[in-house]
């Protein structure tokens, strides 16, 4: 397991050969096959094999859902939604699953469902930056501009992650509220304007 973890972490020229050899050497150890499958979307068949062999291995659904979205040019949103929904049922206390589910719902313009997922993630971890940003964007698209401004301001107040995006969405919502004077200042503060 440790060897697979290291191989997956670093660029190794014979990575696929080593992964295949390790899985073959431990054919009856689902955890080894799971770790192999978590090495990247090219290894997804290992995860499917684990899920088939051990139906209780619910961890597989979240990773397979993310892989479904990583398909170049044609992400499989339906498969991702199915997998994320199953993962959420198995791990209702996971903010990462909820935030990813929210992102997928937002990409599909399913605003109410996206907001529900982000709010559930934030109930678990009130400072979850991905969920906070997703919530601000979703509220903007729902035309709940005052709530979106508050959500974006929360990100800015927390500092560090996603502050640029938060300034953008706060200004966007200020503009849609007709507060034209506030909109440029909301963005301009990142560049030091309006001090």
Q: What is the mean pLDDT of residues 20-35?
A: 89
Tens of pLDDT, residues 147-182: 999 999 999 999 888 999 999 999 999 999 988 765
3-state secondary structure the chain: CHHHHHHHHCCCCCHHHHHHHHHHHCCCCHHHHHHHHCCCHHHHHHHHHHHHHCCCCCHHHHHHHHHHHCCCCCCCHHHHHHHHHHHHHHCCCCHHHHHHHHHHHHHCCCHHHHHHHHHHHHHHCCCCHHHHHHHHHHHHHCCCHHHHHHHHHHHHHHCCCCHHHHHHHHHHHHHHCCCCCHHHHHHHHHHCCCC
Q: What is the pTM of this model?
A: 0.82
pLDDT digits (tens, 9 = 90+) for 85-130: 999 999 999 999 999 999 999 999 999 999 999 999 999 999 999 9
Residue-level pLDDT at 177: 93
Q: What mean pLDDT value characterizes the chain?
A: 89
Say what the pLDDT of residue 83 is: 95
In the predicted model, what is the mean pLDDT of residues 74-85? 95
Task: Give pLDDT, residue 181.
Answer: 65
């Amino acid at each position: 397991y440790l060897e697979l973890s290291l191989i997956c972490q670093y660029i190794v020229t014979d990575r696929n050969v080593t992964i295949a050899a390790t899985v073959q050497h431990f054919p009856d150890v689902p955890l080894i096959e799971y770790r192999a499958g978590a090495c990247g979307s090219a290894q997804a068949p290992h995860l499917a094999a684990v899920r088939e062999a051990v139906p209780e291995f619910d961890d597989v659904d979240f990773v397979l859902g993310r892989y479904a979205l990583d398909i170049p040019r044609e992400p499989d949103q339906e498969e991702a939604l199915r997998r994320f929904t199953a993962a959420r049922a198995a791990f209702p206390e996971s903010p990462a699953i909820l935030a990813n589910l929210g992102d997928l719902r937002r990409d599909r313009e399913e605003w109410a469902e996206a907001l529900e997922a982000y709010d559930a993630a934030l109930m678990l971890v009130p400072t979850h930056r991905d969920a906070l940003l997703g919530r601000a964007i979703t509220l903007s698209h729902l035309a709940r501009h005052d709530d979106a401004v508050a959500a974006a301001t929360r990100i800015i107040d927390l500092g560090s992650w996603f502050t640029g995006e938060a300034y953008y969405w706060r200004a966007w919502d200020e503009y849609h509220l007709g507060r034209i004077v506030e909109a440029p200042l909301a963005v301009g503060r990142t560049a030091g304007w309006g001090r």
